[in-house]
C-alpha cells in the first residue's frame, strides 16, 4: 500500500516541477509585457492628464460668486476650537465663505 502512495506522490511532484519550470518562463514574459505597457501606455497617459490639468488651470478664472446667506448653510452652534473660532481648520479665504460672507468684503 505504501508503495502505491509513494508512486502517486512521485508522479505529482514531478508534474509540479515541470509546471513550475514552465511557469518561470511565462512569468518572465508577463513581467516584460507589463514593463512595456508601463512605458508605452501608463507614462504617456499620466503625462497627457498632467498637461490637461495644467491647461485647465491656466484658463480657470478665480471669480467669486455672489454671497447669499441661506439659513440652512454654515450653521455654527459653537465656535471652532482654534484661531478666532470662525475659520475652519483648512480655511482658504479665496474659496471658503464665512457665515457672514466673504472675508475680503469684511476687510474693505
Task: Mark whether 69 and 21 lie in a shared domain.
Answer: no
Task: Mark whether 11 and 35 lie in a shared domain.
Answer: yes
Q: In this model, does residue 22 exceed pLDDT 70?
A: no
What local confidence, expressed as pLDDT, does residue 19 receive? 56
Q: What pLDDT band is residue 108 in, cutting at 50, 70 and 90?
A: very low
Task: Mark whether 51 and 70 lie in a shared domain.
Answer: no
Burial degree of 103 (CB within 10 A; 0-12, 13-18, 19+): middle
What is the pTM for the complete model shown? 0.43
What local confidence, expressed as pLDDT, does residue 75 receive? 84
Task: Mark whether 1 and 36 lie in a shared domain.
Answer: yes
CATH of the domain at 81: 4.10.95.10
**Domains of the chain: total:** 2
Task: Mark whether 30 and 47 lie in a shared domain.
Answer: yes
Residues 6+ apart with CB under 8 A from 89: 80, 82
| Residue range of the domain that includes 43 | 1-60
Amino acid at each position: 500500500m505504501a508503495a502505491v502512495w509513494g508512486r502517486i506522490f512521485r508522479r505529482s511532484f514531478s508534474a509540479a516541477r515541470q509546471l513550475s519550470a514552465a511557469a518561470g518562463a511565462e512569468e518572465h514574459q508577463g513581467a516584460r509585457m507589463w514593463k512595456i505597457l508601463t512605458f508605452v501606455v501608463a507614462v504617456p497617459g499620466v503625462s497627457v492628464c498632467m498637461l490637461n490639468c495644467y491647461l485647465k488651470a491656466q484658463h480657470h478664472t478665480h471669480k467669486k460668486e455672489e454671497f447669499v446667506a441661506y439659513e440652512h448653510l454654515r450653521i455654527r452652534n459653537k465656535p471652532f476650537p482654534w484661531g478666532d473660532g470662525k475659520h475652519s481648520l483648512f480655511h482658504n479665504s479665496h474659496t471658503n465663505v464665512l457665515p457672514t460672507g466673504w472675508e475680503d468684503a469684511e476687510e474693505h
